[in-house]
Structure 1
Amino acid sequence: MNGLNFLEKMYVKALFRDRMADLHGSAFESFFQNVMSLSHDDFVPVRTHGNIGDLSADGLSLHSGKLYACYGPEVFDAKKVEEKFASDLEGAMSKRGGEFTTFVFVHNDTRGLHPKVASLLAQARRDHVPLLFEPLSPSQLRQKVLRLPRGEVEDLFGAEIPVHDVAYGIGLADVKPLLDHLVEKRTPANRQHRPPNLLQVSDQKMEYNRLSEDERETLRLAMMHTYLLDDYYDNVADVTARDDAADGFRAYYQELAEVCTTPDQIVYELGHYVLGNLRADRARERALDVVLAYFFETCDIFDAPPPGWAPALREASMS
């Protein structure tokens, strides 16, 4: 079965977000169990049965030794979550001792892990060595969904994914005047006007984000013309134009980072964001490279390395 393509992933992300807004209590538990059953061959959903209940588990992963406990309230209540966590943990340890090595607290809070839950997990790990504890968030559940074959995703949501390839021109209309400016000004005659202190694209940032050598070379060459963007934004009437464009790039990059499998694919899809998916003329494609180099170097797209980062540190941590 075929996996989701990029456009389908973007559609499913929105579908997942809408579905999560209505998933509470047993509905959230059932959805979680369905996703896990499709994602992991060793996952066993635990349903409530008669007077024995679910024996303090909503699912078990047999190979990894993980026990899952779901908490999906409609409104978060710190006291109730603490009581639920304590009850599930106590029940799991007394009724399923020896069946698991990791206790996974599954929640439906799309805003992220509540500080109270983080504290509960940390305290439980200290109190119950060598048992491990970890959360499973909606964003982690979404990633499992995005890795499923298209047919299974459609079965999960009970609907066809209505995404078809379409041809479209300029993707980001607000950038069209900027592209026109770059096409006009990016000429050999203007090379003499380049500032002497022209910035170079960061090799460290390109290494940190694992860009291919082809993409690195493209960014290095395009960086020689990024001063033209400063010229453009310095002369537009709308003083917020640059910040608005940067915000758009940053938000779209963050969406791409969640669904793309390689850094080069992110660069490719950012090109669609600016130009659309129709084949552009070479002058406009070169202008696009300049735009991407500019927003790459100003840290609006891709992540900056943390202070003190070096390639050797990354390789050491992976060994």
Structure 2
Amino acid sequence: MYARLKFLELMAELNETTFEAFFHRLMCARYPEFLDVRTHGNLGDQGSDGLMLHESKLYASYAPQTVSATEIRQKIRSDLAKALEKRADQFNTFVFVHNDRRGMHPEIATELSDQQRAHPDLQFQQMGSRKLWHECMQLDVALAEDVLGCQIPIQPVVHGIGMEDLAPLLKHLRDQRRAADPLMPLAEVDPRKLDFNGIQEEAREDLLRGMRQSHLVEAFYAGTLRAVEHDEVAQGFRVYYEQVRRDFPDPEDVLWQLEMYVLGNGSVPPRTQRAAWVVLAHFFERCDIFDAPPPGWSGPLGIPA
């Protein structure tokens, strides 16, 4: 958003040579094969403000302080005539670059259409502020800052749908897990639920490890004051699980999305990450996330549920 606002400011301020310099910076940052043609003595620019070698495109830019359709039509004709005279074998597409933020003037569109009919062997395109912005959006931050001439204040996007509600629980688990017995027997969980949902290898180990201490989650929510909160959090897990399972068929990817639901997508300390898997194990055991095997389902060894 900040870069977009800065770009719009530039489009309002730049004209003539300053606009051409901006166009050159942008295209050189985007395309290694772009040639930023400058005027040189009596040669001028030979009808070109830029050439794209691989695509055989010639760019002619025009950014007056005040828009005059008649002057712009004359400019297009003049640049095209010079380009055909001096660079006929160097391009097959003529691109008119302008700074009109409102779009293309109807008479300019008509002029380009007329030139297309007059020169059927050439292609004619226009490049206004919308297309220039689309090019800007393809740049990485360092290049965008150079093109826009400013620092872009970007912070890592960290989000977690459940973070606000789960922050006290994660703190509780970080504090209590050290005192819990890491070797205590697992609560009775049918391993066929893991099989039924295709959870294997590391993800399976992480869930089983979390199950050893999932009773801490139950203890945290014990009592009438937190019962409603527990139900609300469980409902949040159920709804989010149904959303991500549609987009991520691999159960390991689903668990990864659920982990981000708890923690956000930023880096967290290992203790916090382990606490998150205790939370996931708890809601897995409650069947708020992933499905229980249906009655009569046989696991991979043919043992009936």
Q: Please, what TM-score do these two structures have when normalized by structure 2?
A: 0.52
Partner of 2:230: none
The counterpart of 1:214, out of the listed 242, 246, 256, is: 246
Q: Distance in 1 between matches of 2:141 and 2:39?
A: 30
How far apart are residue 168 of structure 1 and its match? 9.8
How far apart are residue 97 of structure 1 and its match? 1.1
Go from structure 1 to structure 2 and tell me whether the alpha carbon gap of 1:167 and 1:131 turns closer, same or farther (over 3 Å shift): closer
How far apart are residue 163 of structure 1 and its match? 3.0
Q: Distance in 1 between matches of 2:156 and 2:124?
A: 43
How far apart are residue 167 of structure 1 and its match? 7.9
| 1:122-271 equivalent positions in 2, closer than 5 A | 122-165=113-156, 214=246
The counterpart of 1:79, out of the listed 70, 73, 83, is: 70
How far apart are residue 213 of structure 1 and its match? 8.9
Go from structure 1 to structure 2 and tell me whether the alpha carbon gap of 1:62 and 1:166 turns closer, same or farther (over 3 Å shift): closer
Q: Distance in 1 between matches of 2:104 and 2:153?
A: 32
Matched, 1:109 2:100: yes
Partner of 2:24: 33
Q: Distance in 2 between matches of 1:140 and 1:110?
A: 11
Return 5+ residue gaps in structure 1 as ranges.
1-9, 170-186, 188-211, 216-276, 278-319
Matched, 1:43 2:34: yes
The counterpart of 1:19, out of the listed 2, 10, 21, is: 10
Go from structure 1 to structure 2 and tell me whether the alpha carbon gap of 1:214 and 1:45 turns closer, same or farther (over 3 Å shift): same
Q: Distance in 2 between matches of 1:166 and 1:123?
A: 48
Structure 1's consecutive aligned runs of 4 or more residues displaced over 6 angstroms after TM superposition are: 166-169
Task: Output one character per residue of 1:144-193: Cα deviation in whole Å (capped at 9) or x when no partner.
Answer: 11111111111222321123358899xxxxxxxxxxxxxxxxx9xxxxxx
Return 5+ residue gaps in structure 2 as ranges.
161-234, 236-243, 248-263, 265-305
How far apart are residue 214 of structure 1 and its match? 3.1
Partner of 2:197: none
Go from structure 1 to structure 2 and tell me whether the alpha carbon gap of 1:55 and 1:213 turns closer, same or farther (over 3 Å shift): farther
Q: What SS does structure 1 have at the residue aligned with 2:13?
A: coil
| 1:87-102 equivalent positions in 2, closer than 5 A | 87-102=78-93
How large is the Cα RMSD of the aligned pairs?
Answer: 3.2
Q: Distance in 2 between matches of 1:64 and 1:22?
A: 30
Q: Distance in 2 between matches of 1:88 and 1:150?
A: 34
Go from structure 1 to structure 2 and tell me whether the alpha carbon gap of 1:167 and 1:120 turns closer, same or farther (over 3 Å shift): same
Task: Output one character per residue of 1:103-134: Cα deviation in whole Å (capped at 9) or x when no partner.
Answer: 00001001011111111111111101111101
Q: Please, what TM-score do these two structures have when normalized by structure 1?
A: 0.50
Higher relative contact order (CA 8 A, sep 6+): 1
Q: What SS does structure 1 have at the residue aligned with 2:60?
A: strand
- Number of aligned positions between the proteins: 177
Partner of 1:118: 109
Q: Distance in 2 between matches of 1:28 and 1:11?
A: 20
How far apart are residue 140 of structure 1 and its match? 0.6
Q: Distance in 2 between matches of 1:21 and 1:50?
A: 30
Q: Distance in 2 between matches of 1:55 and 1:162?
A: 40
Question: Which of the two has higher C-alpha Rg?
Answer: 2
Q: Distance in 1 between matches of 2:129 and 2:69?
A: 18
